[in-house]
Structure 1
Amino acid sequence: MAVTDEAIEKIKAMIVSGELGPGDRLPPEKELAERLGLSRNSMREAVKALEVIRVLDVRRGDGTYVTSLEPHLLLEAITFVVDLHDDDSLLELFAVRRMLESQATGLAAGNATAEQATVLQDEVASVDPETVSLDDLVAHDIRFHREIVRLTGNGYLASLIESLSSQTVRARVWRGLTEQNATARTLSEHQAIADAIAQHDSALAMSLATAHVAGIERWLRQAAEA
């Protein structure tokens, strides 16, 4: 194991064991290096690496701290990777989104209170299919799916799906511009999903969510072939 990797593993072990917790300040570099039996150079490189992936926060003139370790911070690296995708990999992103969102929708159906389900149904009802603009439809689509994921109560799942969904907005706009009845179809599918969640029917909610995302995949594949 490279010395930098060893340093990373030892700092990680301190966090995993609870010796260092979210918001805690690390001992000074010299003290920590001596304590872990590592060189200051390898310790410095390890801290830089852990800062990049948002595990540590280096505050110049103050010290180095453990971040909040919240999911949205730790998963930023995945968002960076997704940002670099090309159009050829978009279908793969949709496939991953379909798998994750179907499970998330099933969890939401099991977790949602009557009040939360009503909020979701009201979101769908607030959109008039006859007058809604494409921008407003996409904004509704993002709010609708974000609210479903929030109902899972799983921060890591929510962050993963958010990082994927943000990169599929362009495809949703394309579909809205080119596919006939895209607005009515989207709202109808959203209504069915919201109703399944209100009925706490997890199996139905999962199936509907799968078909909903798969519909965009199918359109995208046909558009690519054309």
Structure 2
Amino acid sequence: MSLTDKAIDQLRELVRSGALPPGSKLPPEPDLAAQLGLSRNLAREAVKALAVARVLEVRRGDGTYVTSLQPSLLLEGLGGAVDLLQSDPAALLDLMEVRRLLEPMATALAATRITDEDLAEVQRHLDAMREARDDVEQLNAHDAAFHRAVVAATGNESLATLLEGVSGRTLRARVWRGLVDTRAASRTLAEHEAIFTALARRDAPLSQAAALVHVSSTEQWLREHLSTTAPVAEGDTAAPVPDRERASHSTGGNGSG
């Protein structure tokens, strides 16, 4: 372990132990270095590293503070880290496996906790998906919002942040699917309606099963197609689709996952 890594661990331990609780201000750099038995240079590097990790917040002209340490803050970097895997088809399939393992269980948990207000939010995005079935970008935007609303209904902030990090990356694949698969829109709408119906019944096993069918459908489609081409990145105007599927563009088909 490098000296910098050891310095980071020492400073992190002060936060973990509660010696530096959320919202507290760190001592001036010379005092912090002396407290940790480090050079000022190493103390500075440790502070920089934990600021990148959102454990610390450096306020110009004021000092350095421990953040709120909320899961949504500490885990929000997951999406950016996952995004670096965008050029690796195998990594995308790994992420889909993670989604398949987590999302059905999260949906089952949501069924036991969802309120009428939560359910109305889920339905709002389902209705918007129906209206946007001929608009790939809008359809997929409301698809993502639908799942976000479902997981939010669990009340588990850590779970919501983890799934957002994974699903934000796989959204690219869902946009791509909408551009090349003419049957995806009808299929994905039916799958989302099944999830909503199960949630409305507060039926946890049925909700889990409906979510599993939905995620597995997208995963299977990706496994069949990723060997042929690569998913389009968000914001691109054209998708690199296989020759045998280019005819799909002229049909107006779109869909999601």
Q: TM-score, normalised by structure 1?
A: 0.90
1:201 pairs with 200, 203, 227, which one?
Answer: 203
Relative to structure 1, the CA distance from residue 43 to residue 131 in structure 2 (aligned partners, 3 Å threshold; closer, same or farther) is closer
Root-mean-square deviation (CA, aligned residues, Å) is 2.0
Alignment-derived partner of residue 108 in structure 2 = 106
CA distance in 2, matches of 1:126, 1:60: 43
1:47 counterpart letter in structure 2:
V
1:224 pairs with 218, 223, 226, which one?
Answer: 226
Relative to structure 1, the CA distance from residue 124 to residue 37 in structure 2 (aligned partners, 3 Å threshold; closer, same or farther) is same
CA distance in 2, matches of 1:50, 1:127: 40
Give the secondary structure class of the aligned counterpart of 1:21. coil
- CA deviation digits over 1:30-52, x for unaligned, max 9? 11222232222221121111112
Task: Name structure 1 gaps, 5 residues minimum.
Answer: none
Alignment-derived partner of residue 120 in structure 2 = 118
How big is the shift at 1:79? 2.1
Alignment-derived partner of residue 53 in structure 2 = 53
Relative to structure 1, the CA distance from residue 42 to residue 207 in structure 2 (aligned partners, 3 Å threshold; closer, same or farther) is same
CA distance in 2, matches of 1:130, 1:30: 58
Relative to structure 1, the CA distance from residue 127 to residue 79 in structure 2 (aligned partners, 3 Å threshold; closer, same or farther) is closer
How big is the shift at 1:72? 2.9
CA distance in 2, matches of 1:144, 1:186: 12
After alignment, is 27-36 or 112-121 more displaced? 112-121
Q: What is the aligned-residue identity percentage?
A: 50
Alignment-derived partner of residue 75 in structure 1 = 75
Alignment-derived partner of residue 36 in structure 1 = 36
Give the secondary structure class of the aligned counterpart of 1:4. helix
Counterparts of 1:52-201 in structure 2 under 5 Å?
52-85=52-85, 86-88=87-89, 89-128=91-130, 132-201=134-203
Q: TM-score, normalised by structure 2?
A: 0.80
How big is the shift at 1:224? 2.6
Give the secondary structure class of the aligned counterpart of 2:217. helix
CA distance in 2, matches of 1:35, 1:118: 53
- Are residues 1:26 and 2:33 paired? no
Count matched residues.
226
After alignment, is 67-76 or 210-219 more displaced? 67-76
Hey, which bits of structure 1, 4+ residues long, moved more than 4 A?
none
CA distance in 2, matches of 1:16, 1:200: 38
CA distance in 2, matches of 1:134, 1:8: 45
How big is the shift at 1:10? 2.6
After alignment, is 121-130 or 31-40 more displaced? 121-130
2:93 counterpart letter in structure 1:
L
- CA deviation digits over 1:185-213, x for unaligned, max 9? 11111111111112121122112111101
Equivalent pair of 1:129/1:187 in contact (CA under 8 Å) = no
CA distance in 1, matches of 2:55, 2:128: 40
Equivalent pair of 1:129/1:183 in contact (CA under 8 Å) = no
Counterparts of 1:8-19 in structure 2 under 5 Å?
8-19=8-19
2:49 counterpart letter in structure 1:
A
